[in-house]
Structure 1
Amino acid sequence: MKISSLSIQSAVLLAGVTFSQAPFADVLYQVNITEPEHHLAQVSVTFPKTSEDSLQVNLPVWRTGKYTVLPLADGVRNFAATDEQGNKLNWQRSASGEWRVSLDKPTQVTVSYQLYANELGQRVRDISSTHAYLDASGVMMYSPSFREQPVQVALQVPDAWKSYSGMASGNAPHSFVADNYDILIDSPIETGISQHRSFTANGKAFELVVWGEGNYNLDQIVTDLEKVTSKSQDIWNGYPFERYLFIVHATSGARGATEHINSTVIQLPRFNFRERKDYLRFISTASHEFIHTWNVKAYRPEGLVPYDYQQENMSDLLWMAEGSTSYFQNQLLLRAGVMTPKEYLEDLAKRIDRNQHTPGREQQSVAETSLGEWVATGGDYARNHSVNIYSEGYLVSMALDFQLLNDTKLKASYRDLHKLLYRDYRIPKGYNSTIIKQILQQLADKDYSHWWQVNVESPISYDFNKIFDEAGLRLSYGDEAKTKAFLGASLASNSLKFAYVERNSPAWKAGIAAGDELIAINGLKVSHDGFDKRIGDFNAGDDVEVTLFKDDTLQTKRVSLSKAPDGKLQIKSVKKPARSQKALFEAWLGVDWPFDSDGNFKKSK
């Protein structure tokens, strides 16, 4: 593959001459992507002159937005260090993400290394024949001694590639500048063959860059992003950026998203954009990551201020950082007219239904799960004995919203709490639980200590009908509710092994566990696709024999089936809602009452 004729050295020199918006960078990064088909790059970092007897150099052990320690340094090979004359310097590896270079005289230090980048789904680093995604946490080393110094990045890439970042661009091609490493690490670079759009909202510049072919509609995405980004001002006053970049990867399977201070990256399988449910998942994710620009990036819990890139950053408020963002994401879509009230309430009903089948809600508080997020592994054990900073954090945020609306007679809401956090506790400040309770008392003229202890510091189990009745809503499985037989176990995808067995369900009580392999029910073989239908052949109270392999031993378990609602949980209007109930609904979601006199959703205009 032909590489741009502009060499790294000339690019750097040109950058130094032509960057007029920022001083010449004290820390200089060069990334040479000469073998993209092999996922390889050559990286060098030049640090300013130091008179210390050693220079500590680090690659982070985690990336922002993912509260998990990652083996990022495993992608580094051929580490070397030289002084300003090009002489080799001695060094040693002092920790998993740390190198220490020995110095015997004052000098600049350049470290270089080969980087392997084939981790698209982790959203840290990925290099292929058509693009590179570079998050500095997995690509660019730093020295704590120069973390606050300005930085400059110069890329050498194939001729047809274009490069984008939330960072300021220099006049040299494929080059960027930032005030310090903390901005660099939160401003990923997307370079490659992609599609690009730009738009404005409320006077701010936005860009959309999409890598990969797929069944997306760029015009629709831009139209909806314009609406959503404008509606952010229903929560906050002002924007913490002048320009914002949406990076979208249409992939062969990787999915997920990560927020940054001036940008986000969103990944979705390439043909998962067109169907309405798929598109809503995408645009809701975009809304979530955009909200993070305020909640987490502009203000965040004090345990994460400043970021410590070499170890866990502990906080009991990750549920607010992530769960509140999840709570607001669809509200922005609803207020913007991108999502209908019916779709909003359908999504909320699914979240409640999952919570009701998460026994961990009886054991773990959202504060405790926040502290345990760094070692959370998910799976069967987690759902049975834990909660989630996203899903349960969403529900605690909703409960607090309703509490504030009631306590203030609709004069203040959860949005006002976040508006004040943005106004008064922006980085480099941080907030804690005491500060949150002080703000709540300021808003409602009421002590929230007891509420906090019950809802945040203790396991929660909400009476959702009691909460929703205040907004004229009720939970329902249909006007003629039916029941069906309930086993309490589900199979892994394309497998006969059980992936999840709900604690205290009939399957659990019979001794069936995740990992057991299903063979037959009542002596008859069961297929993966026919499992649910086979359980549906029975009635609640029936005893069935489940034959399975447990620890490679053939066993038969006798299970007494219980009952469960037969249908989808819905959120509907109460009969004859009062004016006060409609008023709370409208204050809560910012849209008109969506039901007609018969309790059906009004047709969208």
Structure 2
Amino acid sequence: MRLLIAFLLVSVTCFGQTNTYNVSFKNAIHHEANIKATFPELNSEVLTLRMSRTSPGRYALHEFIKNVYGVKATNSKGEELEVTRPDAYSWEISGHDGTVNIEYTLFANRADGTYTQVDLTHAHLNIPATFIYAEELKQRLIEVTFNTEGHPDWKIATQLKHLNGNKYFAPNLYYFMDSPTEISDFDLREYTVDGQNIRFVLHHPGTEQEFDKYWEQVKKIVAQEKAVYGELPDYDFGEYTFLACYMPNVSGDGMEHRNSTVLTDVESLAEGGMKGNIGTVSHEYFHSWNVERIRPKSLEPFNFSEANMSGALWFAEGFTSYYTGLILCRAGITTPEEYVNSLNGPFNYVWNSPARQYFNPIEMSFQAPFVDAATSVDPVNRQNTFISYYSYGSILGLALDLKLREKGLNLDDFMKLVWETYGEPENPYTIDDLELSLSKYAGKEFASDFFSNYIYHSNMPDYKKLFASVGLDISQNESEAYIGASVSDTEKGLVISRGPQKGTPAYIAGLEEGDRINTINSTQISNKEEWDQKMANFEPGDTFKISVTSYGMERTAEVKLQPDPTYNINIDENASASAKAAREKWLSAK
């Protein structure tokens, strides 16, 4: 890759077939960017230009064209050209002389891993949300100038190759689209690991001392994630950049890219971000191996005009999520007790969900275009039909790691094998390839059993046995009564605030989101405090009458309470010496 890019850099000056962009921010106070582009040496009579509908790392449609206006086109002499709209996503320019110049205004006021924000504090640019492009010219070189006139304190940070001044380079359209850029008065830390530069760019309102403390944690994460794979990826241009923006005007997010990642959150380091944001650092950096280079074949090539679907997200996102917390523990950023406690939320979410009867992990991954920052106005039944592939894959990654450790193996070495087979040579994988790799690592019978039971079907591993092997305990409090309904105080009274899950007492009784609760066993219930007091007096197996108002009508239902299905995972202080040693090996720094 580096030799190819070196050749392309020479080509910029030798061949001239380069698309150029210039973006400026004179009206930043009103969230506008002015963008100019030139497409020279055209062969087609009609040039079709588009705005992307998707963004690398996201799987849903986003329709970035909605924020573009004031589009004008001219030829090489500055003469105006006709612009027509063949559909909702593109423009057609005809009558050119081999060159088309475009100018337009972009409204941008959301900073996260997908969108663009321009204001007086920064220009946070996700390229698909910012720049017009021509699909037919996708293999051309690209030069972009970030014009910071009027903002003398702003600096530029991006994985794009720096040419000179404010000018940067991409070898093709995909690399350009994959290169988010933060332009602001940011702080910078960097160091060298195995001859490659690791940079952390931070736009924040905090102090140098806070950044120094955070940076030390980041370096520990880099070291522990490198230890899993045995080496860093070969970053293009020899550099990896964290683009962090912890400001009150952004939206919380994280998004991986080939040689960089976007990290955004409203919490500053002094206001909870020191602990609250570091998990995103761990997750997104792990993606520089898993997803960016260990890449599902189903995401190649990435489509900028349609939603992108993959059945491998339980591995790509889910196994990365498993390592997110584990790496923090190995790096000493969290304690073993904190890590084990953090397993409870996703574990209960996955295994107490009725959605497993509808979709296995592969099919849950197929839902990404409809849930990954996607929007819809019609109600959906996600509480009964969907488990996030992040959480599902994370809990399956945990199971696989513990199963392998029972055999004297571990998930780290399996991930390293997948890296050496598919990631390092950048050969996209299929789900069959993952099973084949596990077969080579742990045996055909082991791999077949795991994939058949937990990937192609939705069975639950024997976690009690697996946890005991590393000195953990899992239990359920069957003496606690459970109704399975969330309630909230509102101006209209106490209401069921979320649709009950299938199989819960509330669901069986016919209770539904929006029902206003009136009485329990003829006793009026006016607020959540009274509800909690009443529930505390019941035991599993008890029944009661509940009166609710729904659709303007009052009705009564009978509820039979069940034992609380919540799992509790804890460190077992009475575990055997061998189990404690296995836990230590699992959670300790490599």
Q: Give the C-alpha shift of residue 143 in structure 1.
A: 1.4
Q: How does 1:294-333 map to 2 (within 5 A)?
A: 294-333=289-328
Give the counterpart letter for 2:40 in structure 1.
P
Could you tell me which residue of structure 2 aligns to residue 248 of structure 1? 244
Could you tell me which residue of structure 2 aligns to residue 599 of structure 1? none
Q: How does 1:10-29 map to 2 (within 5 A)?
A: 23-24=12-13, 26-29=18-21
Q: How does 1:359-398 map to 2 (within 5 A)?
A: 359-376=354-371, 381-398=381-398
Cα distance in 1 between the residues matched to 2:490 and 2:64:
31
Cα deviations by residue, 1:200-247 (Å, 9 ceiling, x for unpaired): 444432222333436992122101001111112222223232222222
Q: Does 1:342 align with 2:337?
A: yes
Could you tell me which residue of structure 1 aligns to residue 40 of structure 2? 48
Q: Is the 8 A contact 1:485 1:561 kept in 2?
A: yes
Q: Does 1:149 align with 2:148?
A: no
Q: Give the C-alpha shift of residue 415 in structure 1.
A: 2.4
Cα distance in 2 between the residues matched to 1:315 and 1:493:
40
Q: Give the C-alpha shift of residue 371 in structure 1.
A: 1.5
Cα deviations by residue, 1:1-52 (Å, 9 ceiling, x for unpaired): xxxxxxxxxxxxxxxxxx9888347111111211111111111221231121
Q: Is the 8 A contact 2:113 2:255 kept in 1?
A: no
SS in 2 for 1:177: strand
Q: Give the C-alpha shift of residue 364 in structure 1.
A: 1.6
Cα distance in 2 between the residues matched to 1:123 and 1:302:
22
Q: How does 1:192-231 map to 2 (within 5 A)?
A: 192-213=184-205, 217-231=210-224
Cα deviations by residue, 1:317-375 (Å, 9 ceiling, x for unpaired): 11111001101112222222222111111111332122233221233200111122212
SS in 1 for 2:325: helix
Q: Does 1:488 align with 2:484?
A: yes
Cα distance in 2 between the residues matched to 1:190 and 1:520:
55
Match of 1:418 among 408, 415, 421: 415
Give the counterpart letter for 1:31 in structure 2.
V
Aligned length: 562
Q: Does 1:438 align with 2:432?
A: no
Could you tell me which residue of structure 1 aligns to residue 5 of structure 2? none
Could you tell me which residue of structure 1 aligns to residue 122 of structure 2? 131
Q: Give the C-alpha shift of residue 533 in structure 1.
A: 4.4
Give the counterpart letter for 2:455 in structure 1.
V
Q: Give the C-alpha shift of residue 545 in structure 1.
A: 3.9
Instruction: Note the aligned Cα RMSD (angstroms).
Output: 2.9
Cα distance in 2 between the residues matched to 1:565 and 1:458:
22
Give unpaired runs (5+ residues) of structure 1: 1-18, 593-605
Compared CA separation, residues 280 and 365, structure 1 to 2 (3 A):
farther
Compared CA separation, residues 218 and 293, structure 1 to 2 (3 A):
same
Cα deviations by residue, 1:518-559 (Å, 9 ceiling, x for unpaired): 455444243356644443243334434434332343434332
Cα distance in 2 between the residues matched to 1:331 and 1:143:
43
Give unpaired runs (5+ residues) of structure 2: 1-7
Give the counterpart letter for 2:386 in structure 1.
S
Q: Is the 8 A contact 2:485 2:500 kept in 1?
A: yes
Cα deviations by residue, 1:380-406 (Å, 9 ceiling, x for unpaired): 722322222100011122222233334
Compared CA separation, residues 190 and 539, structure 1 to 2 (3 A):
same
Cα deviations by residue, 1:114-163 (Å, 9 ceiling, x for unpaired): 11111225631111121111011111122122212221111223223222
Could you tell me which residue of structure 2 aligns to residue 577 of structure 1? 576
Q: How does 1:58-69 map to 2 (within 5 A)?
A: 58-69=50-61
SS in 2 for 1:57: strand
Cα distance in 2 between the residues matched to 1:61 and 1:499:
31
SS in 1 for 2:157: strand
Could you tell me which residue of structure 1 aligns to residue 513 of structure 2? 514
SS in 2 for 1:290: helix
Match of 1:239 among 224, 233, 238: 233
Compared CA separation, residues 75 and 416, structure 1 to 2 (3 A):
same
Cα deviations by residue, 1:420-476 (Å, 9 ceiling, x for unpaired): 333332475310012112211221232423431221111232331122223232214
Q: Is the 8 A contact 1:425 1:431 kept in 2?
A: yes
Give the counterpart letter for 2:244 in structure 1.
V
Cα distance in 2 between the residues matched to 1:146 and 1:537:
70
Cα distance in 2 between the residues matched to 1:169 and 1:493:
55
Cα distance in 2 between the residues matched to 1:218 and 1:342:
26
Compared CA separation, residues 587 and 212, structure 1 to 2 (3 A):
closer
